[in-house]
Amino acid sequence: MALNIVVGGGALGLLSAYKLALQGEAVVLLDRAQVGSESSWAGGGIVSPLYPWRYSPAVTALAHWSQDFYPGLGEQLLAQTGVDPEVFVTGLYWLDLDDEAEALAWASNLGRPLASVPVSKVYDAVPVLGPGYERAVYMSGVANVRNPRLVKALRAALLNMPNVTVHEQAAVGGFIREGARVVGVQTALGDIRGERVVLTAGAWSGELLATLGLDLPVEPVKGQMILFKCAADFLPSMVLAKGRYAIPRKDGHILVGSTLEHCGFDKTPTEQALASLKASAIELLPELADAQVVGHWAGLRPGSPEGIPFIGPVPGFDGLWLNCGHYRNGLVLAPASCQLLTDLMLGNAPIIDPAPYAPQGRLGAR
């Protein structure tokens, strides 16, 4: 049985390992800290790009496949592990969009359930919404997933699979090569050799590819969020206005995010961001002024050109594969990205055209 080494234990790495293992492949998953503790833990978990009509068809294709897949994945992981990822279908309201006409045209062209709704109906459906909004569009069927529980469930599922080994606190420092072939990785635990190496290290993927003299255009983009505790029925739907969103969890926690900051690998939460996020939260949902803030954190998204991920083999380095660079949509795109990767690695018919995501022609030399 050929061994597959997956480097990086976020949602993309966990789900890549899971899908490969379900196909009978042997997998070693490596993470430099604890799996799922970076951007996969920190994000909001909306199972849609924030503004899906603003993305290329490449991102849309992955998003649509994943949106249909998530409910079943949540049920499967709950049955396997007893951990519920809480895939919560609430729908999503966008308020006072500048490009509403483009959004409606996109939905009409692709047959997506997004439509203009009278703002009075939004206030009926979401009584806690702040005053002054004049226009709204709504997409039914949009879910959010409780991402910390998703990664916990995936970790538990992998630990129960006999063909999977998970190593945490196992930083990878470089690759082992034999001629043009990558045959393993150098880790804090020693060298590990395998038939294939999959790089799913998020914002850190570029740092690792640089050790091979390759320039991967993936950079860290900091995002900060805050978490409130409210009654379980406080917010019945996700809402988004002026680039900020509020996401209800099933137990009444409300996530509000997020910032976009280019400041390297610094993920220190700041008072400035906290104040900005609180102001946005209270403008959207005025009753949050009296709610308890129970969390404030930052994560690092793997920023990439146009948000199009890199999925496929690395040219000139046989045995090395990428599944990274998902920018703001890692959780949204993960199921489709990992299925596409698995299809390509195992020679199966791919679920969608793999060409837009291929590393070929998209990597530079350092």
The CATH architecture that domain 3-47+148-218+305-365 belongs to is 3-Layer(bba) Sandwich (3.50)
Q: Residues with Cβ < 8 Å from 139, sequence gap 6 or more?
A: 48, 91, 92, 94, 107, 112, 113, 114
Starting at the edge strand found earlier in the chain, the sheet holding 114-117 runs 114-117, 136-139, 92-95, 238-241, 244-248, 253-257, 219-229, 292-303
Task: Give which of 190, 209, 179 is closest to 8, Cα–Cα.
Answer: 209
Distances (CA, A) of 154 to 29, 77, 88, 209, 303: 12, 7, 17, 26, 24
Q: Summarize pLDDT for 95-153 with one digit per residue, the tens.
A: 999 999 999 999 999 999 999 999 999 999 999 999 999 999 999 999 999 999 999 99
Predicted pLDDT at 2:
82
pLDDT at 1 over 70: no
Neighbours of 51 (CB within 10 A): 16
Which three-class secondary structure state does DSSP give residue 18? helix
Distances (CA, A) of 157 to 3, 81, 86: 19, 6, 16
Q: Rounded to an integer, what distance in angstroms lies between the CA atom of residue 226 and that of residue 249?
A: 13
The structural domains of the chain, with segments of one domain joined by +, span: 3-47+148-218+305-365, 92-140+219-303
Looking only at the bridges linking them, the beta strands covering 164-167 and 253-257 are unpaired
Q: Rounded to an integer, what distance in angstroms lies between the CA atom of residue 192 and that of residue 175?
A: 9
Computed over every residue of the chain, the mean pLDDT equals 96
Is the bond preceding 258 in cis, omega lying within 30 degrees of 0? Answer: yes
58 CB-side CA count, 13 A:
13
Give the homologous superfamily in CATH for domain 92-140+219-303: D-Amino Acid Oxidase, subunit A, domain 2 (3.30.9.10)
Label residue 167 exposed, middle or buried (CB < 10 Å: 0-12, 13-18, 19+).
middle
Neighbours of 314 (CB within 10 A): 22
Which three-class secondary structure state does DSSP give residue 150? helix
pLDDT at 50 over 90: yes
Task: Give which of 147, 194, 187, 148 is closest to 169, Cα–Cα.
Answer: 187
pLDDT at 29 over 70: yes
In which band, very low, low, confident or very high, does the pLDDT at 247 lie, cut at 50, 70 and 90? very high
Any alpha helices (H) in the chain, and if so which ranges? Answer: 11-22, 39-42, 57-81, 100-110, 119-125, 147-159, 205-209, 271-284, 330-346
Average pLDDT in the 308-335 region?
97
Average pLDDT in the 72-91 region?
96
Q: What pairs with residue 168 in β-bridges? A: none
Q: Rounded to an integer, what distance in angstroms lies between the CA atom of residue 245 and that of residue 341?
A: 31
